[in-house]
Chain A
Amino acid sequence: MLALTHITKRYGTRVAVDDLSLDVRPGEIFGLLGPNGAGKSTTMHVAVGLLAPDAGQVAIGAHGNPTTPAARRALGLAPQNLAVYDLLSAEENLAFFAQLYGLTGTKLQARVDAALGFAGLQERRRDRVEGYSGGMKRRLNIAAAILHEPELVLLDEPTVGVDPQSRNAIFDSIETLRAQGRTIVYSTHYMEEASRLCDRVAIIDGGRVLALDTVPGLLRTHGGVPKLHATVGGQAVVVETRDPLAELNRMSATAGIESFRVEEPTLEQVFLTLTGRTLRD
């Protein structure tokens, strides 16, 4: 659905994206996970044709070049900034963006109603956006991206600055999109979000893809061995093991186990393994 092939993008002497290649499959949620400044937004902007790469190629499914009108109709972008008009209501915002995609009349109204329902903003549809909470604005920002029913939706850090309740609402709406068969590219620096939502994740740092796989695959390959934390005979013990149950049986044969917990590897550890830094460094 989206193919980035050997993309390089520079800002002056700084390389923002360095020989990056991705192939996003139809119907999947594809995560771009990396810290701030890793090159996720630049990659997104190259993917939708906002930025021309210095090298490499972009193709939106069968439409090819993302700057063609057909390709633009096939994609929807929810930028990291809240790209909505504060002085307009949610309904006016959505109607305006729908007009840009050639929607008119009853079809426009139907799509606006659907998008408002998707964002859970029906009751506040006529209120100006300037009075919305951060979470409501974020939901409207996403609604504006899916208004014209694009095949490919790119969500650039869609949960930045929102409360947990709105974050869950956003997750639910993204899963709704997945159920509708849309292809989603989701950039985030929250490993929990990538773990929860994404079918595959590309870990990015310094404009390069460090690893790309399913979440279990990444954990298996780069997450290291699970750690068993136990208190045995008053002594705290930490053991790295791929079979914690067997290890607990072995421990109980020699002394009583007072407590234990198993620490599974996370994407945070994957990133640490790959870069030597944490995601929030």
Chain B
Amino acid sequence: MSAILAIAFKDLRTFTRQRASLFFTFIWPICVAVLFGMLFGGSNRPTPRLPIAVVDEDGSAASKAFVDRIVSRDTFEATRATRTEALEAVRRGQRTAAVILKPGFGPASERLFYGDPPEIEVFTDPSRQAERGMLEGLLMQQGAERMQTLFSNPAGSRHQVQSALEDLKKGAPGSSPALETFLGQLDTFLATPGASTVPGAKTEGQGDAAWAPLRVTMADLQRQRTGPRNGYDVTFPQAMLWAVFGCVMAFGTTFVSERVRGTLVRLRVAPISRTQVLAGKSLAALLAIVAVESMLLLLGVAAFGVRPSSWLALAAAIGCTAAAFVGIILLLASLARTEHGIGGMGPAVMMPMFLIGGAMIPLMVMPPWLVKASIISPVRWAIIGLEGAIWRDFTAVEMLLPCGVLLAVAAVTFGIGVSRQQQE
């Protein structure tokens, strides 16, 4: 095992010292992902504003004012909609959330310290936990801002206090002598000249003020995605395959150069088996492919809004892709006699695979006949697997097909490659 690791480590070390290899396995794929991602429309979320649909089912002045404030906030990219429209927009992935102000929102806003608070219902995709938390926080923040406005506007809030005192005297739910005393004293305070001392607070109309510890009810709404969220969802899987292409060429060349330059002779004279040599070199190629795919993916997630729907499925897709292309490296290396040979044969074999497999033209925009033809290309199955985990929302069962095909490619190419290498 130590010999295998030594060979793998040596190959990885030499790989990282080849500038041309690093360019084609990392820099070039990034260029492909970013440039084509921009051409395909880039991110549909160019700013951190949260896209939501707002539904006002109350229609009161208070609810309208609340909606106006949401729409005017920089933190939201809010559109007004009916309940049906809003829920459909979330299902289609066009909006992150549907925010619904339920009937009774206005009267509840009028009540102070008693009765039910104003209620907001929020529907989001269950996978958008981060956005859900952010949204809930922003809504509560808006409620807190109302509190500040209320106590800085004595004229408006006096009306609400007096209205509440009348309700309590009529025996409204939640009334108590203590609350009645408190509101009476608050009314006296608000009537005092100079009670408004909060700097910068603006005076608003009666219906615009609302005291509200909001009740926000969160609900799941499964998104039915029909396409990628943005161009980068498409171009990053392509870029990952271009990175694999770079690895195929780099490691295919190292296989052949060991033979051509004579270092393979030294390996074969050492007290290790050919199987150990092949295992070490294959392990290096496998680790390199997984590493470059992962780095590109993380870049896509961190900077370009790529949001894998399943990290587990993505790990499976990356692993199976790496296995398949390690097999292809072995096969190509067994066929080529010289470094020039693999330099010619590699692109000659790989480019058609990439052309019809969706690494140049996205599968989703290919003509149907080309999509059918692409089933012979391992690149197609690699991209399907990666896209399945990133934006196609494949189930575990749906992931079996691309992963299974890639593993079959790995088994066949690895078998032939090893057999040919052993026969030399």
Q: Taking beta carbons and an 8 Å cutoff, which residues of A are in contact with B?
A: 45, 48-50, 69-70, 72-73, 75-77, 79-85, 87-88, 92, 96-97, 99-102, 104, 128, 144
Contact = CB atoms under 8 A, between A and B. Distances in A.
B14 A81 contact: no
Given A48-B269, A102-B2, A83 B261 contact: yes
A100 B6 contact: yes
Nearest to B262: A81
A91 to B, nearest CB: 12
B17 interface: yes
Interface of B: 2-3, 6-7, 10, 13-14, 17-18, 261-263, 265-272
**Which of B2, B7, B18, B265 has the most chain A CB within a 10 Å cutoff?**
B265
Nearest to A73: B271
Contacts of B7: 100
Given A85-B14, A88-B10, A100-B272, 20 more contacts: A69-B271, A77-B266, A79-B262, A81-B261, A83-B261, A83-B265, A85-B263, A87-B14, A92-B10, A92-B13, A96-B6, A96-B10, A97-B266, A100-B7, A100-B270, A100-B271, A101-B271, A102-B3, A128-B17, A144-B266
Given A85-B10, A87-B14, A50 B265 contact: yes
Q: Which of B266, B270, B272 has the most CB of A within 10 A?
A: B266
Given A81-B262, A83-B261, A96-B6, A88 B14 contact: yes
Contacts of B18: 87
A77 B266 CA distance: 7
Contacts of B3: 99-100, 102
A70 B271 CA distance: 7
A82 to B, nearest CB: 7
19 contacts: A45-B265, A48-B269, A50-B265, A50-B268, A72-B271, A73-B271, A79-B262, A83-B263, A84-B263, A85-B14, A87-B17, A88-B10, A92-B10, A96-B6, A97-B270, A99-B6, A100-B3, A101-B270, A128-B17
A161 to B, nearest CB: 14
B135 to A, nearest CB: 52
B314 to A, nearest CB: 32
A100 B263 contact: no
Nearest to B268: A50
Contacts of B14: 85, 87-88
Nearest to A76: B269
A83 B2 contact: no
Given A88-B13, A88-B14, A49 B261 contact: no
B268 A83 contact: no
A144 B268 CA distance: 14
Contacts of B265: 45, 50, 77, 79, 81, 83
Residue from the set A82, A85, A144 with the largest chain B CB neighbour count within 10 Å: A85
Which 8 residue pairs spanning A and B have beta carbons closest together? A81-B262, A99-B6, A69-B271, A100-B270, A83-B262, A72-B271, A83-B266, A87-B17
Nearest to A99: B6
Contacts of B261: 81-83
Contacts of B272: 100
A100 to B, nearest CB: 4
A257 B388 CA distance: 100
Contacts of A72: 269-271
A70 B17 CA distance: 35
Contacts of A84: 263
Contacts of B13: 87-88, 92
A77 B270 CA distance: 9
A100 B267 contact: yes
B269 A75 contact: yes
Contact of A49 (B263, B266, B269): B269
Of B261, B269, B272, most buried by chain A (CB within 10 Å of CB) is B269
A60 B14 CA distance: 34
A230 to B, nearest CB: 51
Contacts of B2: 99, 102, 104
Nearest to A144: B266
A276 B154 CA distance: 123
B14 to A, nearest CB: 5
B269 to A, nearest CB: 5
A184 to B, nearest CB: 16
A31 B185 CA distance: 115
A48 B269 CA distance: 7
Nearest to B11: A85
A112 to B, nearest CB: 13
A169 B348 CA distance: 47
A66 to B, nearest CB: 9
A85 B267 CA distance: 12
A72 B271 CA distance: 5
